Amino acid sequence: MLLRTFGWSFAVTAAGLALAGVLWGWQGLAIVGILSILEISVSFDNAVINAGILRKMNAFWQKIFLTVGILIAVFGMRLVFPVVIVAVTAKIGPIEAVNLAINDKAQYEHLVTGAHPAIAAFGGMFLLMIFLDFIFEEREHKWLGWLERPLAKMGKLDMLSVIVALVVLLVVAMTVATDVAHGGGDKSATVLLSGVAGLLTYLVVGGVSGYFEDKLEEAEEAQEAEDAGNGSAAKPAAAAQEAGQNGAASKRGSVSGVGLAGKAAFFLFLYLEVIDASFSFDGVIGAFAITNDIFEMALGLGIGAMYIRSLTVFLVRKGTLDDYVYLEHGAHYAIGALAVILLATIKYEINEVITGLVGIVLIALSFWSSVRKNRQDGKSGEDSAAKPEVASGV
* pLDDT 10s digits, 275-326: 777 777 666 766 766 777 778 888 888 888 888 888 888 888 787 878 888 8
What are 122-180's pLDDT values in tens digits? Answer: 888 988 998 998 899 888 888 888 888 898 888 888 889 999 999 999 999 998 888 77
**Are the C-beta atoms of residues 254 and 392 closer than 8 Å to each other?**
yes
**Per-residue pLDDT at 40:** 77
* C-alpha distances out from residue 132 to 80, 154, 361, Å: 30, 11, 20
Its pTM stands at 0.72
Residue spans of the chain under pLDDT 70: 1-2, 42, 181-184, 212-213, 215-220, 222-224, 227, 230-261, 281-283, 285-286, 288-289, 379-394
Alpha helices, H only, the chain: 2-42, 44-54, 59-71, 81-90, 94-103, 105-114, 116-135, 145-154, 160-174, 188-228, 234-251, 262-287, 294-317, 320-323, 327-344, 352-376, 381-386
What are the boundaries of each domain within the chain?
2-386
**Per-residue pLDDT at 162:** 92
Distance in angstroms (rounded) separating the CA atoms of residues 9 and 70: 11
Q: Which of 266, 258, 298 is closest to 68 using CA atoms? A: 266
Backbone angles phi, psi at 336, to 5 degrees: -60, -40
Burial label, 26 (beta-carbon count in 10 A; 0-12, 13-18, 19+): exposed
* Close Cβ partners of 309 (under 8 Å, ≥ 6 residues apart): 9, 47, 50, 65, 66, 69, 70, 73
**Per-residue pLDDT at 183:** 54
Distance in angstroms (rounded) separating the CA atoms of residues 214 and 165: 25
**Per-residue pLDDT at 164:** 94
**Per-residue pLDDT at 196:** 93
User: How many CA atoms lie within 13 Å of 115's alpha carbon, on the beta-carbon side?
Assistant: 24
